[in-house]
Amino acid sequence: MAFVQKTWKNRISQYPNRRTINDGNVTKVVTVGRDEGTVTEAGDAFSAANMNDLESRIATAIGGTQGSLTAGENIDITADVISVTDVMTANDAHTLWNNA
């Protein structure tokens, strides 16, 4: 299965913190706030920009936005990118691989 690059978008809504609670008898709409406690590791934000950067780096690493090679196409790749089903040939210096 070939890699298909996706364009991520940030979710935007009118009331991102609003939730509906239904206890079986009464339905209430409430607004909730984050209360994470002490942050011990800030980490990376999950955002469209970060996800699009990741998609781009994956596409570049596998040699194109669709993750597949066209017969006769010459690209620079690393050995761990070659699939066991690919038939690859190298030039004399073994620096350029060609999908046969």
- Is the predicted pLDDT of residue 98 greater than 80, yes or no? no
Burial class from Cβ neighbours inside 10 Å (0-12, 13-18, 19+) for residue 69 reads buried
Q: What are phi and psi of 83, to 5 degrees?
A: -80, 150
pTM across the whole model: 0.45
| Cα Rg of the chain (Å, integer) | 23
**DSSP 8-state code for residue 61:** H
Rounded to whole angstroms, what are the CA distances from 64 to 5, 38, 58, 73? 9, 42, 9, 11
Per the prediction, the chain carries an average pLDDT of: 76
Query: How do the domains of the chain map onto residue ranges?
Result: 1-68, 70-100
pLDDT of 9 reads 94
Handedness of CA 60, 64, 66, 68 (dihedral sign): negative
- Is the predicted pLDDT of residue 67 greater than 50, yes or no? no
pLDDT of 95 reads 56
- Is the predicted pLDDT of residue 65 greater than 50, yes or no? no
Rounded to whole angstroms, what are the CA distances from 31 to 10, 19, 26, 71? 21, 6, 16, 56
pLDDT of 13 reads 92
| 11-58 confidence digits (pLDDT tens) | 999 998 899 999 888 899 999 888 888 988 888 878 899 999 999 998
